[in-house]
Structure 1
Amino acid sequence: MRTSRRDLLKLGALAAASATLPAFASSAVGAPIDKAARPLRVLILGGTGFTGPFQVQYALARGHQVTLFNRGRRPSPEWPGEVEQLHGDRDTGDLKALEGREWDVCIDNPTTLPFWVRDAGNVLKGKVGHYLFISTISVYADGSKPGITEDAALARYGGADAMAETRDSMMADMANLYGPLKALSEAEAWKQFDERTTIIRPGYIVGPRDETDRFTYWPHRIAQGGEVLVPGDGSDPVQIIDGRDLGEWVIRLAENRTYGTFNACGPDYRLSTDAMVHGCHAVTGGPVEFTHVPTQFLEQQEVSLPIWVPSDHDTYGGYGAVSNAAAIAAGLTFRPLATTVEDLLAWFRSLPADRQATLRAGITREKEKTVLDAWRASHGRVG
C-alpha cells in the first residue's frame, strides 16, 4: 500500500509528536548570522518540538527577545542565549501567563484545534503586531493535480461545531480531521488577527530532530547498501523542506512583516524520486543497487514507502508538486539536499542504539527482499 491521503493528513500530527532533543546546527553553517535591523519581542507558542528550537536559535542569533509558552512537559534544549519560559495549557484555556503582556510577533507552532486560535486571540488581540500560524498543505480539498496554489479550495469540516467539541472527540479521528481542522484554524486566525496574519503551509518537514523517520528511512537504508527498492519508475516528484530552512524563514517573515498565505514546500527545483535516492547515495557512498518496482505491484504487495507520492494518483497525486513560487518570492531558501542528508544522518547516529534499530517509517529489510523477490519472480527472473 503506497502513501495515502490518510497518511498525508497526518503530516503535522506526526511532526508534533517529535520528542525534544538537543538542537542541531547545520555542518555547512559556519558564517556568523547578522543581527536584524530591529530587534523584536517574539512569542512562540510551543517552541520545544521539531522546528520550534530552530526558530529560537535563529531568533536569538538575529538579536531578538524570545518568550516561549507551552505546558512545560518537555525539557527545553540548551539555548544559545536567554529565553523566557511561560507555562499554561491551551486544552483547558489556561493562558493566564500571557495576560497583560505585549509582543511584536506571535508564532503559533502546535495548533490544530481552532478553539486554540480563538483563545489565543482573546488574550493576544491588540497585544501582538503579527501572528504567524503554521498550517499544512493537507488543508487543500483537492490534491489530485500538481501545481496547487495558495488560493485553491480548502477541505471542509463535516462534524458538529468545532468550537464546541472537546479536544478528545476531535483528536480521536485526527487522521481524517487534521486537514479540515487546520483549515478552520486558519479561518479563525484571520478572524482574530485580521490582515496582520501569515499562514504557512508546509508539506514534509525533514532533517535533524525529525522523529517520524519518514525521510530518514531513505538515507539510513541507502547507507546500509545492497539492493534498495525504489517505488515507481523514479520520475515521481518529491517535495521536502529542512526544518531549519522552515524555522529560519519564519523568523525572517516576522522581521519583514510579510503577511499572507504561503506553501512552504521545497526544494526550488523539481526533485524526482530517483534524484532523491541518488542524492542520498552521493552522501552515504558504498555499493548500492537501485531496483524500481511499479506502483501497481507495490499496491498489490501492500507496501508503504514514506515521502513518495505517485504523481498519477487521482486523489493525491498533486501533493508531491505543490506550487512554492509565492514562498520563494517571499524569501524562502533551501539548504542543499546533501547538507540535509549529512546532518540528518549525524543526528540520527547520535541517538541510542535501540532507537536507531527501530525505524518508525518504511519497510524492514526482510519485507523489502520479499517484495523484490516477488517482483523478479513475476517476470520470470530469479535473484
Structure 2
Amino acid sequence: MDSLLILGGTRFIGRATVEEFHSAGYDVTIFTRGNRPNPFRGNDAITHLTGDRTDRSAIEEASRQVNPNVVVDCIAYHPEDVRVATDVFEDVSAYVYISSSGVYPDDINPKREDDTRIRECTPEQATDDSQETYANRKAEGDREVFRAANRGVNALSVRPCLVYGPHDYTQRLNYWINRIETYDRVVVPGDGQHLFHRVFVRDLARALRVVAERGTPGEAYNAADRELYDLDTLLTAIARELNRDVEFVHATERDLAAGNLTVDDFVCYRDYNHVLSTEKLAKLGWDMTSIDEAIAETVETHLENDIGGGKQSFPREKESRVIDHIDRTDPR
C-alpha cells in the first residue's frame, strides 16, 4: 500500500486531502503540532504524529517513521520550509507543495502556469509573517520546488485559487449562506458578473492526489473550477439549495457608502477579476464537481454546525441602509 505523509491535515484543505488519499487506498499519516482538534481522532486508519514542521529534526523523524511514498505540504508558509522539506524528502515519489494562485500578478488574465510570471520575493519578505507578503513567500516556495526538481527531487506545486467547501475555518461562504437563508433581499457588490476563480475543497484534494500520481516533477498546476462562474451564479446556486427566492440587490461603491461599506467588506469579492487556466491539470485526468453538488455539501455542513454569518459577517443594519438608498435613488 502506498503511504502519504501530510504536513498539516486537521483543518479544511488538509482534512479533505486526508479523506481523498485515504479513500484512494493510501496509508495516511498526519503531522501537526497537536494544537487543534483532530477530526480523525479515534480512527485507527489515520496515524497522527506530533511535531513542529519548522523543526528539521522533527520532520526527519517523521520521515523515518513513515517512509512515505507521497508527501503533501499544507503548511509551508516560508520558502525555507519548502527548501528543508525538499531536502528531507528528496527520495519520495512525490513531494507536493500547496502554493497559491496569489503568486500571479492581479492584472493578468488568464493566468497560465508556464507563461505568466510570478511575484518576486525579497529576503525580507521571505522571512516575514504578515498577510501582505503571503503571495511573495508562496511564489518563492514555488521556486524552491523548481530548484529541488532540478537536482532530481520529485517536487511539484499546486496553485489553488479561492477555496470553498465544508469545514472552511475562514468561513468564506458562510456569510452568503446565512444572508440568503435569512433575508429576502441581499446586497451584492458590483453587477453580479464579477469573475474570481474558485475551487471546491474536495476537487482541490483530488487535484493534489492526481498531481502526486501523474504530475511531472518541477511543474506547477493551477487548481480552479473548470467552469468559471460569476458571483451571481454562485449565489443563485446557494439560494436554489436552500429553496429560497432571494433578490440580489446590486450595489455600486457609491451605493455601499450609504451603509458605510466598501467592496472589501464582502467575502468572495475583489475589485479585480482573477481567472486561471486549468488545462494543465485537466490533461492529467482531473475534473470538477458540479456546482450544485459542491454547494449542497457546503450548505449541509453549514446548517449542521449552526455557523450563522461566520467570521466575515457585518451588521444587517448597514446592508439595510444600502438597500434603502438604492430604493430611493433607482430610476426604475
- Bucket of the pairwise TM-score, normalised by the shorter protein: 0.7 to 0.9
Residue 239 in structure 1 maps to residue 190 in structure 2: no
- For each residue in 1:232-268, what CA deviation from the matched residue of structure 2 results, as whole angstroms up to 9, or x when unmatched? 11222242211111112212322335442111111x2
Q: Which runs of 4+ in 1 moved over 6 A?
A: none
**Aligned ranges 1:4-83 → 2 under 5 Å:** 39-78=1-40, 82-83=45-46
Q: What does residue 219 of structure 1 align with?
A: 177
State the secondary structure of the residue aligned to 2:19: helix
- The gaps in structure 2 that reach 5 residues or longer are none
Name which of structure 1's ranges 357-366 and 232-241 shifts more when overlaid on structure 2: 357-366
**Aligned ranges 1:284-295 → 2 under 5 Å:** 284-295=242-253
- Write the distance in 2 (CA, Å) between the matches of 1:255 and 1:241: 20
Name which of structure 1's ranges 104-113 and 293-302 shifts more when overlaid on structure 2: 293-302
Deviation at 1:177, TM superposition (A): 0.5
Residue 149 in structure 1 maps to residue 112 in structure 2: yes
Residue 348 in structure 1 maps to residue 282 in structure 2: no
Deviation at 1:185, TM superposition (A): 1.2
Check conservation: 1:204, 1:239, Cα contact below 8 A. yes
Instruction: Name the CA shift for 1:299/1:135 in 2 (closer, same or farther; >3 Å).
Output: farther
Check conservation: 2:174, 2:308, Cα contact below 8 A. no
Residue 264 in structure 1 maps to residue 218 in structure 2: no
- Write the distance in 2 (CA, Å) between the matches of 1:99 and 1:245: 27
Check conservation: 1:40, 1:255, Cα contact below 8 A. no
Residue 109 in structure 1 maps to residue 71 in structure 2: no
Check conservation: 2:113, 2:220, Cα contact below 8 A. yes
- Write the distance in 2 (CA, Å) between the matches of 1:370 and 1:299: 9
Residue 366 in structure 1 maps to residue 317 in structure 2: yes
Q: What does residue 140 of structure 2 align with?
A: 184
Check conservation: 1:118, 1:188, Cα contact below 8 A. yes
TM-score, normalised via structure 1 length: 0.77
Q: Look up the equivalent residue of 2:102 and give its one-letter code.
A: S
- The gaps in structure 1 that reach 5 residues or longer are 1-38, 311-316
Identity over aligned pairs, percent: 25
Q: Look up the equivalent residue of 2:316 and give its one-letter code.
A: R
**Aligned ranges 1:71-220 → 2 under 5 Å:** 71-78=33-40, 82-95=45-58, 96-100=60-64, 102-126=67-91, 128-140=92-104, 142-151=105-114, 152-160=116-124, 162=126, 165=127, 170-171=128-129, 174-194=130-150, 196-220=154-178
Residue 308 in structure 1 maps to residue 269 in structure 2: yes
Instruction: Name the CA shift for 1:257/1:144 in 2 (closer, same or farther; >3 Å).
Output: closer
Which structure exhibits the higher relative contact order, with contacts defined as CA atoms closer than 8 Å and separated by 6 or more residues?
A: 1
State the secondary structure of the residue aligned to 1:237: coil
Q: What does residue 27 of structure 1 align with?
A: none
- For each residue in 1:274-324, what CA deviation from the matched residue of structure 2 results, as whole angstroms up to 9, or x when unmatched? 2122221111123322211124543684322111234xxxxxx232x2222
State the secondary structure of the residue aligned to 1:59: helix
- For each residue in 1:62-99, what CA deviation from the matched residue of structure 2 results, as whole angstroms up to 9, or x when unmatched? 22111222212223223765122222212344424235
Residue 376 in structure 1 maps to residue 327 in structure 2: yes
TM-score, normalised via structure 2 length: 0.88
State the secondary structure of the residue aligned to 1:338: helix
Q: Look up the equivalent residue of 2:119 and give its one-letter code.
A: A
Instruction: Name the CA shift for 1:245/1:155 in 2 (closer, same or farther; >3 Å).
Output: same
Q: How many pairs are equivalent?
A: 322
Check conservation: 1:146, 1:322, Cα contact below 8 A. yes
